[in-house]
């Protein structure tokens, strides 16, 4: 058998050049710009006519390819060079956002132009968002009036849902923050947004994209405090935004505190050390005793793996809570804190079905450990209880409450006899 390899056949022949029509069209936005500028110059300040022109032009011009050029022209009058200056070598138009009047009515009319355009050509949505992100990074290259108009427009578009609040990420750029441009722009933007929607709607939009906890980043690191943020935006007439940021800061601090508390419990730190740490946090973060007792209760109850059997979980809970009763006692110095704890216990026992029968035993344990007073228990029983599992828990507590009332009456009669 021959060891020689059979020679493979080779293809020979003439190579053809790529046909002209198959070559990729060169990216040349100047011709596109000429067409858009010409159309805008003809329609002038009539924004209804502008919207109609843009709608019709989408069938003839390549919006998909030249989206950035299109939005540059509509905002600034021409193509923007890096940094935000207009390119010198191209024709520009005076009929654009930056040359328009600086008032909400005009900005709302411009917002409608963008809204109609994007609704008609859905594929422009992402390109428009990228354009706004870019424009925010170019803020230093714009005049104060141009920034104001862009801020007002952005606020209106955020309110209508035409933009995602994720675009605010551009405002956290170090140079913009350092020079105070970001905070100043944010004032105009949020004023515009809040003139269209309430703070709850704004908060929901920020929360959706994780921006609710990042507003402090509008300021340099040395000014990134709740006090500075609150004063800056309150002085600017945005107290509701200040209050929102303060609440977010407080929530963030509480989450961190709860995590640290759970870590301390799992490490087996002494109750004395835990109490000292929590008292320091109350002072540092201005947390009320009621808020703290709620945090402690949920941390104590989540620090153990509970038995799934109803008859065993009560015994386990009593043993566990006996260990942490000094900690609960340290933060129930007021009647309101005791009542808060009682409501937390009621809620927990209702939400965790295995604990439904344990409620009365937990309350009695904490009464005997001087965590809960008879006044707080009677107030809870008579008027301050929640609707959750009300009939079950009130029935469980009936005999103990009767005993408390009798003990109170006996004590009063003894005092009268002594007098």
Mean pLDDT of the chain: 87
* Lowest-pLDDT choice from 68-72, 286-290, 384-388: 286-290
Confidence of residue 24 (pLDDT cuts 50, 70, 90): low
Q: How far apart are CA 196 and CA 158, in angstroms?
A: 9
How many distinct structural domains can be found in the chain? Answer: 2
Residues 355, 292 share a domain = yes
Q: Look at the block and give the residue holding tokens 């709850």.
A: 200
Residue 368 lies in a domain: yes
Residue 417 lies in a domain: no
Averaged pLDDT, 55-77: 93
Q: What is the number of other CB atoms lying within 10 angstroms of the CB of residue 13?
A: 5
Give the list of residues 6+ apart from residue 284 with CB closer than 8 angstroms, or none: none
CA angle in degrees (0–180, nearest 5) for 244-249-252: 125
Residues 34, 168 share a domain = yes
Q: What is the pLDDT of residue 30?
A: 84
Q: How far apart are CA 290 and CA 297, in angstroms?
A: 11
Is residue 8's pLDDT more than 70? no
Q: What is the pLDDT of residue 140?
A: 94
How buried is 267 (Cβ within 10 angstroms: 0-12 exposed, 13-18 middle, 19+ buried)?
exposed
Residues 179, 300 share a domain = no
Domain boundary among 190, 224, 258: 224
- Per-residue model confidence as pLDDT tens digits over 279-327: 988 887 778 888 899 999 999 998 888 888 877 888 999 999 999 999 9
Residue 11 lies in a domain: no
Residues 314, 194 share a domain = no
Residues 217, 121 share a domain = yes
Q: What is the pLDDT of residue 21?
A: 46
Q: Which of 145, 137, 211 lies closest to 174 in space, CA to CA?
A: 137
Is residue 23's pLDDT more than 80? no
Q: What is the pLDDT of residue 1?
A: 47
Residues 337, 218 share a domain = no
- Per-residue model confidence as pLDDT tens digits over 388-399: 888 999 999 999
Q: What is the pLDDT of residue 10?
A: 56
Residues 157, 277 share a domain = no
Report yes or no: 151 and 176 within 8 Å, Cβ to Cβ. no
Confidence of residue 22 (pLDDT cuts 50, 70, 90): very low
Give the whole-number percent of the chain exceeding pLDDT 90.
62
Q: What is the pLDDT of residue 413?
A: 53
Q: What is the number of other CB atoms lying within 10 angstroms of the CB of residue 144?
A: 9
- Alpha-carbon dihedral of residues 232, 236, 241, 243, nearest 10 degrees? 60
Residue 252 lies in a domain: no
- Per-residue model confidence as pLDDT tens digits over 173-216: 999 999 999 999 999 999 999 999 999 999 999 999 989 888 99
Averaged pLDDT, 405-414: 64
Residue 250 lies in a domain: no
Residue 419 lies in a domain: no
- Which is more confident, 329 or 87? 329
Residues 191, 114 share a domain = yes
Residues 393, 320 share a domain = yes
- Which is more confident, 25 or 98? 98
Domain boundary among 169, 189, 224: 224
Residues 172, 70 share a domain = yes
CATH number at residue 324: 1.25.40.180
Residue 10 DSSP one-character state: -
Residues 198, 314 share a domain = no
* Lowest-pLDDT choice from 153-167, 245-259, 350-364: 245-259
Q: How far apart are CA 141 and CA 32, in angstroms?
A: 24
Is residue 16's pLDDT more than 50? no
Q: How far apart are CA 40 and CA 98, in angstroms?
A: 14
Residues 70, 214 share a domain = yes
- Per-residue model confidence as pLDDT tens digits over 139-165: 999 999 999 999 999 999 999 999 999
Residue 57 lies in a domain: yes
Residue 157 lies in a domain: yes
- Per-residue model confidence as pLDDT tens digits over 110-150: 999 999 999 999 999 999 999 999 999 999 999 999 999 99
Averaged pLDDT, 325-349: 93
Residue 108 lies in domain: 29-224
Q: What is the pLDDT of residue 296?
A: 92
Q: What is the number of other CB atoms lying within 10 angstroms of the CB of residue 345?
A: 22
Domain boundary among 187, 207, 224: 224
Report yes or no: 241 and 191 within 8 Å, Cβ to Cβ. no
């Amino acid at each position: 058998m021959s060891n020689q390899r059979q020679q493979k056949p080779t293809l020979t022949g003439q190579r053809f050049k790529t046909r002209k029509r198959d070559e990729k069209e060169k990216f040349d936005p100047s011709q596109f710009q000429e067409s858009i500028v010409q159309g805008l110059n003809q329609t002038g300040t009539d924004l209804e006519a502008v919207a109609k022109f843009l709608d019709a032009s989408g069938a003839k011009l390549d919006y998909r390819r030249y989206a950035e050029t299109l939005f540059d022209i509509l905002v600034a009058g021409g193509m923007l060079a890096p940094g935000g200056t207009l390119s010198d070598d191209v024709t520009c138009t005076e009929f654009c956002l930056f040359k328009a009047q600086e008032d909400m009515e005009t900005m709302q009319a411009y917002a409608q132009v963008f809204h109609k355009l994007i609704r008609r050509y859905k594929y422009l949505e992402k390109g428009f968002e990228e354009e706004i992100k870019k424009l925010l990074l170019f803020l230093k290259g714009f005049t104060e009036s141009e920034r104001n108009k862009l801020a007002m427009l952005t606020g209106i578009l955020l309110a209508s849902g035409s933009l995602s609040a994720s675009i605010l990420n551009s405002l956290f750029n170090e140079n913009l923050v350092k020079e105070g441009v970001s905070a100043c722009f944010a004032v105009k933007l949020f004023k515009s947004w809040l003139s269209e929607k309430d703070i709850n709607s704004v908060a929901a939009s920020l929360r959706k994209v994780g921006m609710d906890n990042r507003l402090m980043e509008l300021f340099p690191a040395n000014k990134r405090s709740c006090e500075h943020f609150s004063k800056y935006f309150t002085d600017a007439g945005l107290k509701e935004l200040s209050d929102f940021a303060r609440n977010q800061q407080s929530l963030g601090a509480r989450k961190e505190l709860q995590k640290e508390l759970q870590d301390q419990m799992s490490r087996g730190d002494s109750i004395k050390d835990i109490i000292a740490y929590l008292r320091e946090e109350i002072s540092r973060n201005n947390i009320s005793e009621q808020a703290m007792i709620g945090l402690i209760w949920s941390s104590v109850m989540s620090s153990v793996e509970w038995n799934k059997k109803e008859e065993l979980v009560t015994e386990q809970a009593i043993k566990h809570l006996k260990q942490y009763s000094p900690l609960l006692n340290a933060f129930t110095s007021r009647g309101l804190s005791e009542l808060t704890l009682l409501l937390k216990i009621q809620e927990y026992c209702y939400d965790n079905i295995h604990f439904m029968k344990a409620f009365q035993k937990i309350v009695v344990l904490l009464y005997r450990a001087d965590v809960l007073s008879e006044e707080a228990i009677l107030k809870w029983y008579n008027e301050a209880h929640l609707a959750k599992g009300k009939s079950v828990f009130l029935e469980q507590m009936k005999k103990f409450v009767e005993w408390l009332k009798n003990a109170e009456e006996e004590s009063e009669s003894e005092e009268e006899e002594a007098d």
